[in-house]
Amino acid sequence: MIDFDEACRRTVEFARPLPRQTLPLAEAAGRVLAAPVAARRTAPPHDTSAMDGYAVRSSDLACGPVRLRIVAEAFAGDAAGPRALGPGDCARIFTGAPIPAGADRVVIQEIVRREGAVALLERPAGEARHVRRAGSDFHAGDILLDVGAVLTPQAIVAAAAADLASVEVIPRPRVSLISTGDELAEPGSASDRPGAVPDSVSLGVAAMATAWGAAVSARRRVADDLSRLEAAAQAALDEADVVVMTGGASVGERDMAKAAFEPLGLDLVFAKVAIKPGKPVWLGRVGDKLVLGLPGNPSAALVTARLFLAPLLAGLGGGRPNDALYWRLAPLAGPVHACAEREVFHRGRTLPEGVAPLGNQDSSAQRDLAAADVLIRRRAGARAASAGDTAEVLAF
C-alpha cells in the first residue's frame, strides 16, 4: 500500500497524450490541439469598413455642411471593390466592405442625409475613422492557436478565421467500464428482483469520464464469474484506451478484478492506496492500455474516480493531468474530526461561509453524495478542525 501523493505521482506518469489525429474543424470542439493553427490568410485582407455609412476623403470634409456625389456602392464580399473616389465623391458602404481607393474614412449613416445621388453631411463627422486596416487582426502565417490550446467556442472562431478546414488534435480517450457483482441490476429493474441492487456506480463513473473528456465505448455488467470477467476484460481492452473495473477489488473469494486481467499480462502500477474512502483502488497496465480498479461502493468509487481517473483522462486527452489535481485552500464551514493513519477525503458542499462536510460520509452513501461539489482533504494524523479553520479542497 502506498500513500496518496505517491499514487498521484505514478498516475500522472502514465497520463501521456494519445497519438494525434486530424479532424474536421466542425467536429473538433473541446479537443486539445496537437499542432499549431497558422493563418492561411490575412484578416482583414484589405482596408475594410467597420460601420454602415459612406466612404469619403477626409480632405472633402474640411468645412461643412458637405455635399458629396454618391458614385459607387460597396458590399462585403465584393471581389473587385468599388471604383476609386475623386474629389467630391463618396461611396455608400456597408460593414465588411472594402474601402475604395482614395477614401480614408467612413462616415456613419446616422449623420448623413441622402438626397438621390447626393450625400449631405450637416454636422462634423467626429474623430473616429471606422476603418479596419488590412492585417489589423492577423497576417498570413501568424500562429493564432498554439499546441495544447483547447478548442473552446472562441478558439474555434479563430481556427475558422485562419481558413482551416481541419486541425490536428489529441483524440478523446476511449473508456470501457466493467461493473462486477451478482447483485447488480440495471437501474429501473432492481425492484423486480429480490436481493438486487441498482448499478449506480458504473453510470456515475461513465458520467465523470465524459465530463473529463472521454468517450465511453461500452459499459458492461458482469457476474462474479472469473471466466466471464476474463472475456469482458479482453473485450474492453480491445476497444478502449482505459478500462475501469468497479467492484471486486477488496478481499474475498469473489474479488476477481485483478485476476481477470492477469492472463492478459497485467502489470500493476499500484495495488492499494492509504486513503479513506477507496483504499482498494488500483492501477495497472496491459500493453499500452491502462486499467483502473475502483471500489464497488458508490461514494468510494466516485471519490477515487475523481482522484485518479480524472487526471488520467486529462493527460491522455492532451491536457495537464496536474490541473485535475488542483487543491485550493478554503475555510471550513463545519467541524471535521481527527484522522488516523490514512488520509481522508470528505465529501462536502460549498457554502457562502466556506466548505462544509456532508453528514453521511459512509463509502456506500448515495443521497448525500448528490449534494457534494468538493472533496475536503485531511492528511494522515491531522488533528480535529473547527469551522473557520483552513482546509485543502478539490472541485468534485
List of residues 6+ apart from 143 with CB closer than 8 A: 36, 37, 38, 39
Q: Note whether 314 and 212 are within 8 A (CB).
A: yes
Matching CATH number, 48-132, of 3.40.50.2020, 2.170.190.11, 1.10.3470.10, 1.10.3720.10: 2.170.190.11
Q: Is 193 helix (H, G, I), strand (E, B) or coil?
A: coil
3-state secondary structure of 41: coil
Which whole-number Å values give the CA distances from 62 to 58, 59, 129, 147, in the listed order? 7, 6, 15, 51
Q: Which amino acid is at 363?
A: S
Report the distance separating Cα 307 and Cα 207, nearest Å.
Answer: 15
CA–CA dist 71, 172 (Å, integer):
56
Specify the fold of 328-395: Beta-clip (2.40.340)
Q: Which residues of the chain form CATH 2.170.190.11?
A: 48-132
Q: What is the mean pLDDT of residues 183-212?
A: 94
Q: What is the pLDDT of residues 209-267, one digit of tens each?
A: 999 999 999 999 999 899 999 999 999 999 999 999 999 765 555 568 999 999 999 99
Query: What's residue 250's pLDDT?
Result: 58
Cα–Cα distance measured from residue 362 to residue 280, given in angstroms and rounded to the nearest whole number: 15
Residue 282 to residue 250: CA distance in whole angstroms:
10
First to last CA, the chain: 25
Q: What's the pLDDT tens digit per position in 314-330?
A: 999 999 999 999 999 99
* Res 226: pLDDT: 94
pTM metric for this prediction: 0.86
Assign 387 a pLDDT band (cuts: 50, 70, 90). Answer: very high
In the prediction, which pLDDT does 215 show? 97
| H/E run at residue 231 | helix 226-239
pLDDT beyond 60 at 296: yes
CATH 3.90.105.10 residue window(s) in the chain: 21-43+143-170
User: Mean pLDDT over all residues of the chain?
Assistant: 95
Location of C-alpha cell 463627422: 125
Label residues 304-323 b or e (16+ Cβ within 10 Å = b): bbbbbbbbbbbbbbbbebee
High-pLDDT (> 90) share of the chain, %: 91
**Per-residue pLDDT tens for 42-65?**
999 999 999 999 999 999 998 768
Residues of the chain with CATH 3.40.980.10: 4-17+172-325
pLDDT at 78: 84
Q: Does domain 21-43+143-170 have CATH number 3.90.105.10?
A: yes
Q: Is the pLDDT reported for residue 129 higher than 80?
A: yes
DSSP-assigned states of every residue in 84-107: PP-TTEEEEE-TTPBPPTT--EEE
Q: CATH fold of 4-17+172-325, please?
A: Molybdenum Cofactor Biosythetic Enzyme; Chain A (3.40.980)
Comma-separated ranges of CATH 2.40.340.10 domains in the chain: 328-395
